Amino acid sequence: MSYTIFENKLNDLKALRKESQQAVQWSSVFILPEWMQVWWQVFGEGADLYIRTVKQGDKVIGIAPLMTKDGSAFLIGNTDVCDYLDFITSPGMENDFFNVLLDDLKKDGIKHLDLKHVRPDSAVLTNLAPLAEGRKSKVSTDVEAVSYEMELPLSFNEYLNKLSTKQRHEVRRKLRRLMEAGKIEYRFLDKSNEMPAAMDTFFTMFVESRQDKAAFLTEQMKSFFRLLVSTMTEIGLFKLGVLELDKKPVAEIMCFDYNDCIYLYNSGYDPQYVSLSVGLLSKIYAIEDSIGKGKKKFDFLKGAEIYKGHLGGKEVPLYRCQIYL
């Protein structure tokens, strides 16, 4: 079969997604063109873009969203704000795509692929790594982080019944105690004009709820979050969950809604209400809302926080895969 590889610009990716949506899998929110453009605008300094599309005739069989520096190639993004990454590939055509891509990388003098973080079901681990080993390249894979996710049932009661007896009682007890404290409202904001003020509140809660989050939220990170929220709201993928007690916001969560999956990206709460477990319950309400809207999966994303397992999340290891060409 004859394949052609094309060099692309970052701005080409939106059109490529529209062209190739039926042919290739844009498997997560973190590899969408809009996400990559925001990340590159804020964090891309010091690297060069290396975006390649492989076609069989007129059909796209894969897209490599890479950046290079000092002879190494990386997936566009970083582990601080992109929980897991991958290539964009056509089912059944992965080996053909990666063979063409590896030849192109070697021709361009790339000696090392440093790919993180990638899931066990990623094209990196299921196709690229074994293919590279077959081509006599040295490959190393190491677990570097963990993510949690769960399949959603058809009803909230069914979800509660899937929890351990202890956790089910704890969730119900905390919900009762919160409702006894005042009037509870939980809603999702998804309109552009609502976001600036809501994000100001979110940033305050974010830094007050945990000391390590305060150190994480630099001015550069704030710029990234604001631009990301604005961009993803415009395309209908961002939602900000707000838990209110007597009309006062006491907890907020940043979520992305993509491919019938809710991604729980970040959260914060007012520490004055820690005794009411408002941080945890904001996630419970988000799960209930997701089930009510017929979503298939709830992704707690990267991080080994204990509550994720307690709320039904199943552990997914995240790997760093290095390939020496």
DSSP string, 80-130: TT-S----EE-TT-HHHHHHHHHHHHHHTT--EEEEEEE-TTSHIIIIIHH
Contact 72, 113 (CB under 8 A): yes
Which residues 6+ apart lie within 8 Å of 311 measured at CB?
Answer: 150, 163, 167, 171, 280, 283, 284, 287, 300
pLDDT computed for residue 21 by the predictor:
84
Which residues 6+ apart lie within 8 Å of 210 measured at CB?
Answer: none
Q: pTM for the whole thing?
A: 0.96
CATH number given to 153-295:
3.40.630.30
Task: Give which of 282, 280, 287 is closest to 157, Cα–Cα.
Answer: 287
> What is the chain's pLDDT, residue by residue, as a tens digit (325 residues)?
799 999 999 999 999 999 888 899 999 999 999 999 999 999 999 999 999 999 999 999 999 999 999 999 999 999 999 999 999 999 999 999 999 999 999 999 999 999 999 999 999 999 999 999 999 999 999 999 999 999 999 999 999 999 999 999 999 999 999 999 999 999 999 999 999 999 999 999 999 988 788 889 999 999 999 999 999 999 999 999 999 999 999 999 999 999 999 999 999 999 999 999 999 999 999 999 999 999 999 999 999 999 999 999 999 999 999 999 9
**3-state secondary structure at position 32:** coil
Contact 232, 33 (CB under 8 A): no
Q: What is the DSSP string of 222-274?
A: HHHHHHHHHHHHHTT-EEEEEEEETTEEEEEEEEEEETTEEEEEEEEE-GGGG
Place of tokens 């998804």: 190
For the chain, give every residue range classified as CATH 3.40.630.30.
4-146+318-324, 153-295
pLDDT computed for residue 74 by the predictor:
98
Which residues 6+ apart lie within 8 Å of 128 measured at CB?
Answer: 87, 94, 98, 115, 321, 323
pLDDT computed for residue 64 by the predictor:
98
pLDDT computed for residue 22 by the predictor:
84
Q: H helices then E strands: how many in the chain?
A: 12, 13
Contact 194, 187 (CB under 8 A): no
Options 1.10.10.10, 3.40.50.300, 3.40.630.30, 3.40.630.40; CATH for 4-146+318-324 is 3.40.630.30
